[in-house]
Structure 1
């Protein structure tokens, strides 16, 4: 590895959205007071937003108390890895038009449970990073700070 080259590649929003579109499993992070939770969800990118389905329970309750969320997706191979983080607001879809559009997005639960509530995450910021997976640099010698 060339020590003069930054191993981390910053992805712009277009590159980050392309990575999001290529996957279907992510993690949503909710926050209420001192409680922070993380939930795996299958999802689909719909326009500039992210859709997932859920049922009544802690995830939906937490989103109604505080709609500010983080959404994270990543992937890796033996040679490369990447991560995208979306900061945004999550809101349950309420109108018939919103639900009809969400139904056409092709999002289906992975497990045979009824998840009748569609939730859209509207991004406020999207950041991504990618890198080539190289061996760790030598640890001998004096560390540069």
Structure 2
């Protein structure tokens, strides 16, 4: 364990946790505003792929393709947080979309989400936290 029950995770451990989960948040910014959107996703090699409908997310990604993506989780004894920073690319070519569809990613809600986005990771970091009571104050 690191300082105060916090452990830095290796990149391979981060990708393993990303593969084990399917709900995350993408942070995008445009015109001085930062927005965070929940998305269900899949990992493809070392990139994040998600589907979306036309709207704010796609507009912001067209203005600024630099994004952050985050997942977290917890059990009774520990928690974790993984952050992926990278470049978002809307998949345009049918061959790219066909490959992405092989991931089996479907919308969780009954909406048409026919736009595909891939986040090419430039940085992946993660931390694991040992849960416990607050230490005594001295």
TM-score per shorter chain, which class?
Answer: over 0.9
Deviation for aligned residue 1:6: 3.9
TM-superposed deviation, 1:48: 1.1
1:38 alignment partner in structure 2: 36
* Larger Cα-atom Rg: 1
Q: Which residue does 1:65 correspond to in 2?
A: 63
Structure 2 unpaired stretches of 5+ = none
Residues 105 and 124 (structure 1), Cα distance of their counterparts in 2 relative to 1, 3 Å cut: same
Find the aligned partners of 1:48 and 1:93 in 2 and give their Cα distance: 16
Residues 1-145 of structure 1 aligned to structure 2 (within 5 Å): 6-139=4-137, 141=138
- Structure 1: which 4+ aligned runs deviate by more than 4 Å? none
With normalisation by structure 1, the TM-score equals: 0.92
Superposition deviation, residue 101 in structure 1 = 0.2
TM-score (norm 2): 0.96
Distance 2:130 2:5 in 1: 7
The structural deviation recorded for 1:5 is 5.6
Question: What is the deviation of 1:131?
Answer: 1.4
In structure 2, distance between residues paired with 1:94 and 1:33: 25
Aligned residue pairs, count: 138
After superposition, what is the alpha-carbon deviation per residue over 1:64-123, rounded to whole angstroms, capped at 9, x for unaligned? 110000000000012110000000011110111100000111000000100000100000
Task: Please report the RMSD computed on the Cα atoms of aligned residues, expressed in angstroms.
Answer: 1.4
Structure 2 Cα separation of the partners of residues 81 and 63 of structure 1: 30
